[in-house]
Amino acid sequence: MAGKSPVALPPGGGQSIHSYSGGHHLAGLLVGIISEMKKFWTKQKTNYKIMIARDSLTMFSGRRSLERGMGGYDSIFLSRLGASALQIGYINGIQSLLSLLLAMPSGWFIDRSTDIRRIYFASFALSLPAFIGLYLASDWKLYLVAMLIYTAAISVQFPSQLIIDIDSMDDTTRVSGLAFHRTITALAGVASPMLIALAINYFGGLSSANNIRPLFLLFFIADAVILYIVYRHLEPVTIEREKKKQNPLDGVKALLESPVPLKLLMVSEISTVFVMLMISPFRGIYQVDIKTATIFIFGWIGVAEPAIDIFLSIPLANLVDKYGRKKTAYIGHIFGILARLLLVATPISLPTLLIMVSVLGSLEGCLYVGMDAYSQEAIPQQVRGSYMGLRNLIVGVIGIASPVIGGYIWEINPDLLFWVPVAQWSLIAFPILVILMERYSVDGYIRTQ
């Protein structure tokens, strides 16, 4: 895919959104880029366009697609309701237990659905009452009830959504599609973190749960609009099925007998998720209560990442095309290590450095787009539902314990907790990345046998 020409087209001759490099001045360059983006947009499937609209609205409301967290404010809200670090850990562990119980049924159900849209719509609708419950929650027990409803909904919603997203892009233009997605959704979400910070500051700041409470009404309204859009416009997703009937464990067996790259991807992903589930309930509290970030620093942390995506997502994706998925994935991974290291190393006297953590994380994501595409392409379509079901099963098992472990580590030393992702991303995820790129890919593309 990489070429010496500044105009890089994806394999198969597809149109790349970042192929334009002509023009003799800035205005001409911008006109050319916009023109190529329009051409790319018109060639895409309807479901890809719906994915862009859906995730743009999600970003505009201050959240990220396919993430259980709610803009980083959910853990702060929970702590302000009076929950201790251990209680926060147990609450997240209980949610993971429910995810575990639903993992296999959801994967089995998705694999046998004739129309994934129906279960996607139904699970999406089920998540809406949870936001009203969070808005009304007066203590951590009511918070837990609302989050259990939300967890039950997303156990089906997220896997079905991921299948729809993967199907919405062709392999030949997947890197371009992911880069375009990052850019457009970042444009939608760049201002929302600061607007939310200003609103919370207006209501009184981060010291009280009541000041954060209105956020959940915003999330409810945003998701209601999204549900209406996807229900009206999402097109059917065609998935090839095996003709013979299988029992619920056959998909798991197929995955366990799958090629080495898929197993390595799962190990890397599961270890990453384990650490994420360990620290995510405490990240916002760590930034605000330990690293002394103000509400406005917290807002700028949210602004920095989409701002980088807007200006650098497409140019950096062009580098992925020019220099290859492998090299850029390595560089992106190093940025990720630096981001994790800076988070824990930031002195309390200089909390503005936390904004740079967000910048480095966004650079990581922009350069990692080739590896993201590889990860999607490595999962055979006919077992994607089973893969997500098995993934959710394992995540459910480790997720029961990981936030509780995080709570105990927090009680010992909050800084120690945030050294864990530095070690995992350096000593587990990076070696697996190298093995996948060097032995099981051709410059970041699936090696055909």
pLDDT tens figures, 168-213? 888 777 878 887 888 888 888 888 989 999 999 999 999 999 999 9
pLDDT recorded at residue 446:
67
pLDDT recorded at residue 247:
52
Q: Mean per-residue pLDDT for 78-82?
A: 94
Query: In b/e form, how buried is each residue of 349-379, taking b as 16+ CB within 10 angstroms?
Result: eebebbbbbbbbbbbbbbbbbbbbbbbbebb
d(CA 160, CA 391): 13
Confidence of residue 351 (pLDDT cuts 50, 70, 90): very high
Mean pLDDT lowest among 4-8, 33-37, 155-159, 362-366: 4-8
Question: Rounded to a whole number, what is the largest CA-CA distance in the chain?
Answer: 64
Domain-by-domain residue ranges, the chain? 44-240+248-446
CB atoms within 10 A of CB 342: 18
Q: Could you tell me the end-to-end alpha-carbon distance of the chain, in angstroms, rounded to an integer?
A: 19
Which alpha helices (H) appear in 112-139, and where do they start and end? 116-136
Q: Mean per-residue pLDDT for 251-265?
A: 73
Higher pLDDT, 175 or 367: 367
Q: Mean per-residue pLDDT for 233-251?
A: 64
Q: For the domain made up of 44-240+248-446, give the CATH fold.
A: Growth Hormone; Chain: A; (1.20.1250)
Average per-residue pLDDT in the chain? 84
The CB-based long-range contact list for 215-220 (8 Å cut-off, 24+ gap) reads 215/62, 215/70, 215/71, 215/73, 215/77, 216/70, 216/131, 216/132, 216/134, 216/135, 217/131, 217/135, 218/61, 218/62, 219/61, 219/62, 219/63, 219/70, 219/131, 220/128, 220/131, 220/132, 220/135
Q: Does residue 21 carry a pLDDT above 50?
A: no
Q: Is the CB of residue 113 less than 8 Å from the CB of residue 325? A: no
Closest CA to 36 of 308, 318, 261: 318
The CB-based long-range contact list for 115-120 (8 Å cut-off, 24+ gap) reads 115/236, 115/237, 116/160, 116/163, 116/164, 116/237, 116/239, 117/164, 117/234, 117/236, 117/237, 119/156, 119/160, 120/156, 120/157, 120/160, 120/161, 120/164, 120/230, 120/234
Q: Does residue 388 carry a pLDDT above 80?
A: no
pLDDT recorded at residue 110:
80
Q: Is the CB of residue 338 less than 8 Å from the CB of residue 360? A: yes
For the record, the structure tokens of 172 come out as 């030949």
Helix count and strand count (H, E) for the chain = 19, 2
Q: Is the CB of residue 316 less than 8 Å from the CB of residue 8? A: no
Upper half-sphere CA count for residue 161 (Cβ side, 13 Å): 22
Q: What is the DSSP letter of 444?
A: T
Mean pLDDT lowest among 192-206, 214-228, 410-424: 192-206
Query: In b/e form, how buried is each residue of 216-227, taking b as 16+ CB within 10 angstroms?
Result: bebbbebbeebb
pLDDT recorded at residue 29:
64
Confidence of residue 447 (pLDDT cuts 50, 70, 90): low
Mean pLDDT lowest among 48-57, 346-355, 394-403: 394-403
3-state secondary structure of 445: strand
pTM of this prediction? Answer: 0.76
Upper half-sphere CA count for residue 267 (Cβ side, 13 Å): 15
Mean pLDDT lowest among 103-112, 121-130, 178-187, 423-432: 103-112
pLDDT recorded at residue 12:
40
Percent of the chain scoring above 70 in pLDDT: 85
Q: Mean per-residue pLDDT for 223-238?
A: 92
